[in-house]
Structure 1
Amino acid sequence: MGYLPQPEVPKHKARLEAMMLDLASLRSVREFADSFKTKKLPLHILICNAAVCTQPWRLTEDGLESTFQICHLGHFLLVQCLQEVLQRSAPARVVVVSSESHRFTDLLDQCGKVDLAVLSPPQKDYWSMLAYNRAKLCNLLFSNELHRRLSLHGVTCNAVHPGNMMYTAIHRSWWLMTLFFTLARPFTKSMSSRF
């Protein structure tokens, strides 16, 4: 029995370039998308992952409640601005990181109609966890609709719940959530856990 030499695998030199954007600024999102487009690069995967939770009520420079804009609207605008690039780059994928917490809210008023006022509520009607849940429900609805519209063009879209794998400080603004995460920690996996 002879030894067959393995063919050499070509080595690729990957290049990484960081580009910053602020999801709390729609202007920043548009500038980021314009800057990316000038590079004439393909875009095969776009992961919409940034989020804030349990934040005090505040308005962004665009006059919108910050949790809704950072967790959902900023990503929505980013994908819309880069939609043509994604289609030209097909096959491409958009991954929207949502949360199981979307199950604990809805967007309907008492008559069963979508109440857009709940997405960016005034301070007197604001509850941080509910704002987060609503934004995550919007993520899920957006992902489904985006997949319906773009899958025919070679762009798939998935929404994922990341689970409670890693400890993050997303809840740092509310002591009750910090306590909950601390108590739940022994029952969750970490990145160092063996699967």
Structure 2
Amino acid sequence: MKLLSPPNSPFHKARVEAMMCNLASLRSVREFADSFKAKKLPLHVLVCNAAVCTQPWNLTEDGLESTFQICHLGHFLLVQCLQDVLRRSAPARVVVVSSESHRFTDLLDSCGKVDLDLVSPQKKDYWSMLAYNRAKLCNILFSSELHRRLSPYGVTSNAVHPGNMMYTSIHRSWWLMTLLFTLARPFTKSMVRKKRA
């Protein structure tokens, strides 16, 4: 499909091509990466933005809790699979969309060590908002370490909080969160108000 640009733009003949990737399937992520590599295209910007929130407990086909896999592990694997393309394409950038909610959790057990059972909990230990917060903390830690490892090769990584001005349906499966977002909306910026500021 064509992306229309102004006639005098150097990108007037630019094309946009959609490729499907299911982050709830590590097989799908690998297949996506292989398909992209086969195109022999440079990769200057990779935005890791997909997320789910307030979902009921569910396991993916890989046997992992779905919020963790979709919000973090799928992106982690995608970046790992495309790391060589990013390095060849330098300067390049990875943008990991996290959330301010990463502040409201941790990944440490009572001894102060990382507890891997917290990132992909069993059903009896699952709370949807906490699962989301933990996945977003993983996003921050991943982006920081990725930047440390790849910046010498011209690939930077940044984690960002998208802000609460973007209205999405990410909270659609939990009525309480939908109510809170609705009540908070008058006190947040819309895209129109953001542009004026």
> Normalized against structure 1, the TM-score is what?
0.94
User: Deviation at 1:192?
Assistant: 2.3
Q: What per-residue deviation string (whole Å, max 9, x for no partner) do you get for residues 2-21 of structure 1?
A: xxxxxx87564211101010
Matched, 1:157 2:157: yes
Q: What per-residue deviation string (whole Å, max 9, x for no partner) do you get for residues 27-50 of structure 1?
A: 000000000000000000000000
Tell me how far apart the structure 2 counterparts of residues 52 and 124 of structure 1 sit (CA, whole Å): 20
**Which residue in 1 is equivalent to 2:172?**
172
**Which residue in 1 is equivalent to 2:118?**
118
User: Deviation at 1:166?
Assistant: 1.5
The unaligned stretches of length 5 or more in structure 2 are 1-7
Q: How many residues align?
A: 188
**Which residue in 2 is equivalent to 1:36?**
36
5 Å-filtered alignment, 1:134-153, equals 134-153=134-153
**Quick one: percent identity of the two aligned structures?**
85
**Which residue in 2 is equivalent to 1:56?**
56
In the alignment, residue 175 of structure 2 is paired with which amino acid?
W
Q: What per-residue deviation string (whole Å, max 9, x for no partner) do you get for residues 136-160 of structure 1?
A: 0000000000000000000000000
In the alignment, residue 38 of structure 2 is paired with which amino acid?
T
User: Deviation at 1:97?
Assistant: 0.1
Q: What per-residue deviation string (whole Å, max 9, x for no partner) do you get for residues 60-80 of structure 1?
A: 000000000000000000000
With over 3 angstroms needed to count, the CA separation of the structure-2 counterparts of 1:168 and 1:115, relative to structure 1, is same
Matched, 1:106 2:106: yes
The unaligned stretches of length 5 or more in structure 1 are 1-7
Tell me how far apart the structure 2 counterparts of residues 46 and 52 of structure 1 sit (CA, whole Å): 19
**Which residue in 2 is equivalent to 1:133?**
133
Tell me how far apart the structure 2 counterparts of residues 34 and 49 of structure 1 sit (CA, whole Å): 20
Tell me how far apart the structure 2 counterparts of residues 11 and 171 of structure 1 sit (CA, whole Å): 36
Tell me how far apart the structure 1 counterparts of residues 46 and 68 of structure 2 sit (CA, whole Å): 20
Tell me how far apart the structure 2 counterparts of residues 176 and 10 of structure 1 sit (CA, whole Å): 48
Matched, 1:81 2:86: no
With over 3 angstroms needed to count, the CA separation of the structure-2 counterparts of 1:33 and 1:179, relative to structure 1, is same
Tell me how far apart the structure 1 counterparts of residues 11 and 17 of structure 2 sit (CA, whole Å): 19
SS in 1 for 2:192: coil
With over 3 angstroms needed to count, the CA separation of the structure-2 counterparts of 1:181 and 1:39, relative to structure 1, is same
Q: Provide the alpha-carbon RMSD of the alignment.
A: 1.1
Runs of 4+ in 1 over 4 A off after TM superposition: 8-12
Tell me how far apart the structure 1 counterparts of residues 20 and 62 of structure 2 sit (CA, whole Å): 19
In the alignment, residue 63 of structure 1 is paired with which amino acid?
G
> Normalized against structure 2, the TM-score is what?
0.93
